[in-house]
Structure 1
């Protein structure tokens, strides 16, 4: 019985060994297959080639960025860029005038116009020829690159093989790299071996590198194709500086030698003043007569200019910056600014007047403008300024401090206007205006400084003049039977204010809140009425000049000549020239 038992046991052992060997080999086989599949899926490079820019006729790249929409066009070897691309990526001030089908480009010294489908363009109204015109293709407006390369610091490189148009910008620094090693080199759609490839590269080939991601370089070939390359296959090279020279030079606007601008406005309503009666104005170097004004919606200007006044001013050593206003008529302003034709009409008249009257500059004074015309006002000033600069005229513009009032303040794009004009004059008045419901200073010192600081956030101090008032307001507060106060006012010159005070034997006192002298009067005959006045006089002007010096502004401007006392001129010039 024991033998049988042992025999059976041995047979079971042999049977177990025979089952183990096939299972083991099956396991090994499955493991090999799995590893092969894993290698195939995760380790084997993708050898599928795809189109770099499907469905784009002429792909455009700029600083490594690929633009998905149709933003370039090539015809007979001539490269075009879309209007929208240039406006969004090169020059936000590029403009299109639908009425005349004209592209408008403005620089610091040129206004260029290109009419669609025409080979004649204009620079500051002078014609010149272009080889290819502005055109429209598939509903997209295109600009030829050749004139753009002379205006903007850009170049366009076109590769006929890949169809890629590549933008290069002057001033950019580009990291170069060289392909190294043996084997094959793939430019892929993504930073992984499994991404399909766009193109192949050769050892020693130079690429431009824009970024690094997950151990891969985002790079561009010489033919313009762009994608990812394993950084282990690249040796970094030099940094290439891109330089494209553009015509033109930086303008240095006129300024008084070694000093600040001291301007005053000459208010001309119907006829010019008798110059023989104008008092001496020490320190004054610019006078701005209010001569030109928009007279209708068609862009016609009214003129009150007088050549004899200019001759008198020049004999006195004053520059003449004639003021041009919109007549403060918002509807006329909308119509006149709306299209290129009326804007050019206004420009042509100003140029003619400037030559006729031997002017030294134009002072632009557009007020009471609809917010919707904000961009059109900028466009007009951009178009006008190069024409005036070409005639060596100084261009200044009047602005207000910042506020939430649309037609008084918000319509000024101060930052963009400051890029163009030579000087801006911030009219720091009226804090309390003629019909103000509350009596107060025309321009208290804290209000002036705070407002000026707000403007300096957008306008360089070297371009800013502080506008100051030579007048005050006499306020009358009258209580009715219900104790309600009615407020009225009238403007007084410095001399009128002084006479009013003397007639009543009053003694002005210093008002800490406004930083000015203040006077108050109650008439015993009319006890319900209180008169109030915050004064402009020698002391207040000296404080305003100190602000000019504190913030190193370009100078000051005063509204208006004839409202001041004679002592004011000496007070201004003495304070301006006084050393700390």
Structure 2
């Protein structure tokens, strides 16, 4: 008898399908939410037009860049073309800084913020399906696809694992519709419309098509329309007291963008001071050049902390900049935030995230200046180059100051190998497309002075223009020598009992930088700054167009 009993048990557990049924892990959950056939652990609230989705779920599965500001209980959501601002318990909101009325207000409940699903569908192109029987909410994002199927003629079990010996979650009758999320040999991982998801044998399912959530239609940006296949050749116009007289500016061969340093944030509230000049804009446009006004943080870290701290302050800066763009007929904005605390890096990225759709609505080019990657907290670590590269039309790598003004050792402002490495690291590590990346080149160099004091070599430097160096070489009858280490001409000489060293910026170095930009298929070059240019500078840099 024992042998017979053992045989029966073996037949039941190792040959016949498991007849046991179990409940899903989400049994008892109210409005459980599913993504890609998996229970997320989150629940929705309400139903239909009153459906609310929890913010943590949206951050995890829809948009990790959603911003929540606890001080105002506000939520900021953005895409390339839309900026949506909402506050808890308020039906008044804004879209691209214009007031709108929500049918349903966001809510805060047990420390969790819930957002109305309807505006999220419009913003992100979400597909949200509710099931009346179980309350399950099936969420799919724009561009997502899933094969569809239905059960064939016989009733089949939906099991917890890909084996007939696993317990069943449900018995599916013929014609039951499923979404097929993955394939495992002869088994499918499928989900019913009521949220139940598990394994079913592929032979029992007829595939009927594919469900596709359409991506939200977008218009091409100005950069995509106007700059595709065309190299940027930008020069910054350093403006200190007043803009230069355009009549005094010579011909800028090949330059198609000028970026005057006209705008800066001047207080903790985000107000912007302007030194813009209509005559300069008219001159530039008359020469076929675009004007991208530069906005700086005045290199003030404490002011930056305060001015970028809240949506209200960031929006004040953005609105004022856009008004200046309208007033002076500017073509774009160049963001130059430097000397920033690492803790404020997220706020810099958020500023760009909020500026992008607003600038795009005004048909403006948006660019940002970044330093080469380094361990410097104030000058590099605050920059999220991967995110910024996705937001900006162009990212300009300021590939200079390899050896800065107070460097403890003399050296090149931008050796060729260092410049190449600076660009390649961003291309490779931060996945910024080459066509978006613009190589910043210096039109200045430093005269380094080395003198002995107390048995040690003291180093100091002075920044000078290309013409100033050419005058020194000519007057002192120096013979520059090509430095293989830097790819630049180099001279040194003694004067007043000290040693002077110059790594020269000239046609040789500029030709090498143009060649570098072209070899990496970069979006162009940007020169700091126009007033430092020497004889033949613009003709040399115009090689970027050839």
**Normalized against structure 1, the TM-score is what?**
0.88
Which residue of 2 is the match for residue 9 of structure 1?
none
Instruction: Name which of 265, 269, 273 aligns with 1:298.
Output: 269
Instruction: Name which of 302, 320, 323 aligns with 2:294.
Output: 323
- Name the SS of the counterpart of 2:68 in structure 1: strand
Instruction: Find the aligned partners of 1:189 and 1:566 in 2 and give their Cα distance.
Output: 76
Q: Deviations over 1:144-202 (max 9, x none)?
A: 221111122321100011111001234334333432354x5333444455655433321
Q: Deviations over 1:523-572 (max 9, x none)?
A: 3x52xx11100111122111111112111211111111111123211222
CA contact 1:171–1:241 (8 Å) conserved in 2: no
Which residue of 1 is the match for residue 218 of structure 2?
248
Which residue of 1 is the match for residue 77 of structure 2?
105
Asked if 1:149 is matched to 2:103, the reply is no
Asked if 1:129 is matched to 2:101, the reply is yes
> Residues 429-440 of structure 1: matches in 2 within 5 Å?
429-440=400-411
Change (3 A) 1:195 1:137: farther
- Name the SS of the counterpart of 1:419 in structure 2: helix
CA contact 2:142–2:216 (8 Å) conserved in 1: no
Which residue of 2 is the match for residue 536 of structure 1?
505
Which residue of 1 is the match for residue 485 of structure 2?
513
CA contact 2:189–2:197 (8 Å) conserved in 1: yes
Bigger Rg, which one = 1
Instruction: Find the aligned partners of 1:83 and 1:519 in 2 and give their Cα distance.
Output: 61
Instruction: Name which of 365, 371, 380 aligns with 2:351.
Output: 380
> Residues 225-240 of structure 1: matches in 2 within 5 Å?
225-231=196-202, 234-240=204-210
> Residues 451-470 of structure 1: matches in 2 within 5 Å?
451-457=422-428, 458=430, 459-470=432-443
Asked if 1:33 is matched to 2:5, the reply is yes
Of the structure 1 ranges 29-38 and 120-129, higher mean CA displacement relative to structure 2 is found in 29-38
Asked if 1:479 is matched to 2:448, the reply is no
Change (3 A) 1:117 1:498: same
Change (3 A) 1:142 1:511: same
* Cα shift at 1:210: 2.5
- Name the SS of the counterpart of 2:446 in structure 1: strand
Which residue of 2 is the match for residue 54 of structure 1?
27
CA contact 1:210–1:217 (8 Å) conserved in 2: yes
Asked if 1:66 is matched to 2:39, the reply is yes
Change (3 A) 1:497 1:291: same
Which residue of 1 is the match for residue 63 of structure 2?
91
Instruction: Find the aligned partners of 2:49 and 2:540 in 1 and give their Cα distance.
Output: 68
Instruction: Name which of 546, 549, 562 aligns with 2:531.
Output: 562
* Cα shift at 1:296: 1.9
Change (3 A) 1:131 1:379: same
CA contact 1:440–1:534 (8 Å) conserved in 2: yes
Aligned length: 542
- Name the SS of the counterpart of 2:470 in structure 1: helix
- Name the SS of the counterpart of 1:462 in structure 2: helix
Instruction: Find the aligned partners of 1:414 and 1:228 in 2 and give their Cα distance.
Output: 42
> Residues 363-378 of structure 1: matches in 2 within 5 Å?
363-378=334-349
CA contact 1:370–1:406 (8 Å) conserved in 2: yes
* Cα shift at 1:244: 2.4
Unaligned runs of 5+ in 2: none
Instruction: Find the aligned partners of 1:213 and 1:255 in 2 and give their Cα distance.
Output: 48
CA contact 2:222–2:365 (8 Å) conserved in 1: no
**Normalized against structure 2, the TM-score is what?**
0.94
Which residue of 1 is the match for residue 515 of structure 2?
546
Of the structure 1 ranges 447-456 and 126-135, higher mean CA displacement relative to structure 2 is found in 126-135
Of the structure 1 ranges 29-38 and 271-280, higher mean CA displacement relative to structure 2 is found in 29-38
Which residue of 2 is the match for residue 360 of structure 1?
331
- Name the SS of the counterpart of 1:359 in structure 2: coil
Which residue of 2 is the match for residue 7 of structure 1?
none
Change (3 A) 1:479 1:52: closer
Which residue of 2 is the match for residue 24 of structure 1?
none
Q: Deviations over 1:336-392 (max 9, x none)?
A: 111111111111111121112111111100011111111111110010121111111
Change (3 A) 1:259 1:210: closer
Instruction: Find the aligned partners of 2:12 and 2:531 in 1 and give their Cα distance.
Output: 92
* Cα shift at 1:221: 1.3
CA contact 2:40–2:57 (8 Å) conserved in 1: no
Instruction: Give the superposed CA RMSD.
Output: 2.2
Change (3 A) 1:77 1:436: closer
Instruction: Name which of 292, 309, 322 aligns with 1:338.
Output: 309
* Cα shift at 1:314: 1.9
